[in-house]
Amino acid sequence: MEKLRIRTGYQLRTVAGRTVVVPTEDTLDTNVMIVLNETGKLLWDRLSAGATPEELVSALLAEYDVSQDVARSDVQAFIARMRQRGLFED
């Protein structure tokens, strides 16, 4: 199973009641601020704890009333967006 690691230098914060991913002081890319919905926050938290993509799918299935296909598609889309923004270690 593929292990994904969130790049160091990014943290979750609550800003004006919204959950956002922001760079820390050590991160040069200060233009990144990503707003996460409840599902995105759940996935981020699980990734921070070392979850694999399959474990993320299981987490969505346990939390929400969705099919396995929908959960897998949502996880793949989330991972693709985070990769595109350079938030995973290589």
Per-residue pLDDT, averaged over 18-26, amounts to: 80
Task: Tell me if 40 is assigned to some domain.
Answer: yes
Q: Which residue has the higher pLDDT, 81 or 27?
A: 81
**CA–CA separation, 37 vs 58, rounded Å?**
18
pLDDT at 27: 59
Is residue 26, in this structure, part of any structural domain at all? yes
- In the predicted model, what is the mean pLDDT of residues 67-83? 95
Percentage of the chain exceeding pLDDT 70: 89
Q: What is the mean pLDDT of residues 55-68?
A: 97
Number of domains in the chain: 1
**pTM to 2 decimal places:** 0.83
Q: Give the burial class of 44: count Cβ atoms within 10 A of its Cβ; 0-12 exposed, 13-18 middle, 19 or more buried.
A: buried
Check: CB of residue 43 under 8 Å from CB of residue 28: no
Q: Angle, nearest 10°, between helix axes 38-48 and 53-63? A: 140
Q: Is residue 89 part of a domain?
A: no
> Residue 31 and residue 24: Cα distance in Å, rounded?
11
Q: Which of 12-16, 28-32, 35-39 has the lowest mean pLDDT?
A: 28-32
